């Protein structure tokens, strides 16, 4: 059966990297049908809404979206369109792989192959309880951790380890200080870990984790952690492997999944053909895994690696003199 994918072209460099990505996917002769839907500034101009109802319906129907970055205008009604999308579809698992690629500008030429699994719906990122006192002197915010939320994200991490042949899950926390919230997460994580005797589990405090990631990233396989720590750690990991142009992410829930680059709309280079399409292409590879096409996902990743190895038409962020589409064509010729 042909799988339909909701495609959101997005703002800034979004349309350029989406054209490049669809060009490569087109060359792969996959049995996919693309349904375009608007979101972000483009949607605001065309439909008067940042997240039009027909876009939400499309994702609800197809259950899979490939999405370019979106601009949330200041004062747009909600704090971020991305946070709103994750909330609406309860996309609780943010899955961000960081893998060493050849010929990048990273400090680690090889040896990084890890996935950060970030809880995407609770922790410090809940929109309730953000208060500043009337005199402007005191600010308070609420962090909420639940047993259910912790259990499902940790279980997701261990199940992913099992299904992908990864060996170890590191539970990252700050339970020594944040005794209630991080404490509950750690307690539940230990209970879940005990149910997976075939997967090695260890615990690490978040500040030490950052130091360990920079000193010896090869000790990590899967990291599972709460929302704020996962946000920061996954950017650190993107930096380890050569930057945002190579960092993809999946937002996964029970009923839907949205695949995107970690980076934003890059207004400084938009419309100039300078954007590296690899982050969105790697997100597309995660999408192919998700929809049951792991061989095609591997084929796509291999073509990206081969193109990087050959230094064929790479974009400027990788030290090349190619552009978004020439890079995509070089990858497409290797799929
Ligand atoms: P950004 O990620 O757009 O850009 C940071 C730097 O990285 C810039 O110098 C940019 O040129 C460079 N860069 C990013 N992607 C690149 C690529 N594919 N190839 C080459 N260089 C690349 O972050 P910034 O500037 O903080 O945010 C810009 C806008 O993007 C904001 O409106 C923000 O809200 C939005 N944003 C959207 C996200 C999403 O839709 N998931 C995520 C992050 C930011
Ligand atoms: Mg972030």
177 inside domain: no
pLDDT at 254: 96
Segment 243-269 shows an average pLDDT of 95
Dump pLDDT digits (tens) for 285-328: 999 999 999 999 999 999 999 999 999 999 999 999 999 999 99
Sign (positive/negative) of CA torsion 236, 220, 123, 91? positive
Query: Domain residues for 299?
Result: 1-103+243-335
Q: Which residues are CB-contacts of 28 (< 8 A; sequence separation ≥ 6)?
A: 296, 299, 300, 335
267 or 77, greater pLDDT: 267
DSSP β-ladder status, 64-67 and 222-225: unpaired
**Concatenated DSSP letters for 129-179?**
--EE-TTSS-EE---B--HHHHHHHHHHHHHHHHHHT--EEEEEE-TTTST
207 is catalytic: yes
* DSSP state, residue 2: P
Dump pLDDT digits (tens) for 168-215: 999 999 999 999 999 999 999 999 999 999 999 999 999 999 999 999
pLDDT at 242: 84
290 inside domain: yes
268 inside domain: yes
Report the number of distinct structural domains present in the chain. Answer: 1
* Predicted confidence band of residue 233 (pLDDT cuts 50, 70, 90): very high
Dump pLDDT digits (tens) for 47-91: 999 999 999 999 999 999 999 999 988 765 666 888 889 989 999
Distance 111 CA to ligand 2 centre (A): 23
222 inside domain: no
125 is catalytic: yes
34 is catalytic: no
Dump pLDDT digits (tens) for 16-34: 999 999 999 999 999 999 9
pLDDT at 129: 84
Is the beta carbon of 314 within 6 A of some atom in ligand 1? Answer: no
Structural contact between residues 152 and 224, judged by C-beta atoms closer than 8 angstroms: no
**Concatenated DSSP letters for 51-81?**
S-HHHHHHHHHH-EEEE------TTSSSS-H
CA-based nearest residue to 5, from 30, 41, 42, 40: 30
CATH of the domain at 295: 3.40.718.10
- pLDDT over 80 (residue 109): no
* DSSP state, residue 315: -
Name the closest-CA residue to atom 42, ligand 1: 264
> Which helix (H) or strand (E) element contains residue 97?
strand 93-99
- pLDDT over 60 (residue 141): yes
Q: Structure tokens of 328?
A: 């995509």
CA-based nearest residue to 119, from 197, 199, 188: 188
Distance 300 CA to ligand 1 centre (A): 24
pLDDT at 77: 63
Distance 105 CA to ligand 2 centre (A): 21
* Predicted confidence band of residue 148 (pLDDT cuts 50, 70, 90): very high
The Cα 125–Cα 143 span in angstroms is 7
267 inside domain: yes
252 inside domain: yes
Name the residue of 13, 69, 101, 314 to mutate for ligand 1: max ligand atoms within 8 A of Cβ.
69
Q: Which residues are CB-contacts of 233 (< 8 A; sequence separation ≥ 6)?
A: 116, 118, 172, 206, 209, 210, 213, 223, 225
- Mean confidence (pLDDT) of the chain: 95
Which ligand 1 atom lies nearest to the CA of residue 260? 41
296 is catalytic: no
From 67, 174, 293, 329, the catalytic residue: 174
Is the beta carbon of 244 within 6 A of some atom in ligand 1? Answer: yes
Which ligand 1 atom lies nearest to the CA of residue 266? 3
pLDDT at 1: 79
214 inside domain: no
pLDDT at 76: 52
Distance 197 CA to ligand 1 centre (A): 40
CA-based nearest residue to 5, from 30, 32, 42: 32
Dump pLDDT digits (tens) for 234-244: 999 999 998 88
- pLDDT over 70 (residue 134): yes
Sign (positive/negative) of CA torsion 249, 252, 21, 60? negative
pLDDT at 17: 98
pLDDT at 205: 98
Other Cβ atoms closer than 10 A to 74: 5
Is the beta carbon of 276 within 6 A of some atom in ligand 1? Answer: yes
Name the closest-CA residue to atom 44, ligand 1: 264
170 inside domain: no
* Predicted confidence band of residue 132 (pLDDT cuts 50, 70, 90): very high
Taking CA atoms, 300 is separated from 26, 34, 262, 281, 307, in Å, by: 12, 18, 19, 8, 11
Q: What share of the chain is helix, strand, coil (3-state, %, to 5)?
A: 40, 20, 40
Segment 1-8 shows an average pLDDT of 94
């Amino acid at each position: 059966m042909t799988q339909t994918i909701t495609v959101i072209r997005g703002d800034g460099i979004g349309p350029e990297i989406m054209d490049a990505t669809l060009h490569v996917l087109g060359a792969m002769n996959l049995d996919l049908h693309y349904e375009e839907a608007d979101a972000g500034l483009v949607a605001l101009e065309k439909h008067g809404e940042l997240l039009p109802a027909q876009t939400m319906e499309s994702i609800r129907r197809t259950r899979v979206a490939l999405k370019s970055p979106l601009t949330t205008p200041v004062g747009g009604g909600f704090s971020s369109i991305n946070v709103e999308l994750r909330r609406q579809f309860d996309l609780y698992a943010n899955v961000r792989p960081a893998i060493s690629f050849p010929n990048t500008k990273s400090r680690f030429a090889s040896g990084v192959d890890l996935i950060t699994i970030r809880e995407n719906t609770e922790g410090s990122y809940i929109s309730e309880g953000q208060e500043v006192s009337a005199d402007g002197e005191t600010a308070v915010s609420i962090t909420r951790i639940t047993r259910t939320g912790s259990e499902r994200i940790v279980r997701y991490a261990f199940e992913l380890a099992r299904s992908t042949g990864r060996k170890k899950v590191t539970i990252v926390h700050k339970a020594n200080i944040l005794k209630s919230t991080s404490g509950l997460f750690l307690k539940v994580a230990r209970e879940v870990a005990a149910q997976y005797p075939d997967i090695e589990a260890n615990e690490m405090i978040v500040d030490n984790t950052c130091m360990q990631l920079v000193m010896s990233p090869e000790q990590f396989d899967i990291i599972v952690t709460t929302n704020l720590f996962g946000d920061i750690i996954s950017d650190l990991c993107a930096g380890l492997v050569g930057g945002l142009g190579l960092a993809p992410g999946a937002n996964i829930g029970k009923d839907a999944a949205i695949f995107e680059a970690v980076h934003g709309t890059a207004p400084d280079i938009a419309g100039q053909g300078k954007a590296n399409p690899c982050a969105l292409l790697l997100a597309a590879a995660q999408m192919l895994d998700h929809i049951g096409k792991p061989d095609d996902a591997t084929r796509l990743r291999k073509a990206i690696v081969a193109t990087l190895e050959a230094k064929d038409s790479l974009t400027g962020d990788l030290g090349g003199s190619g552009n978004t589409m020439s890079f995509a064509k070089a990858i497409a010729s290797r799929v």
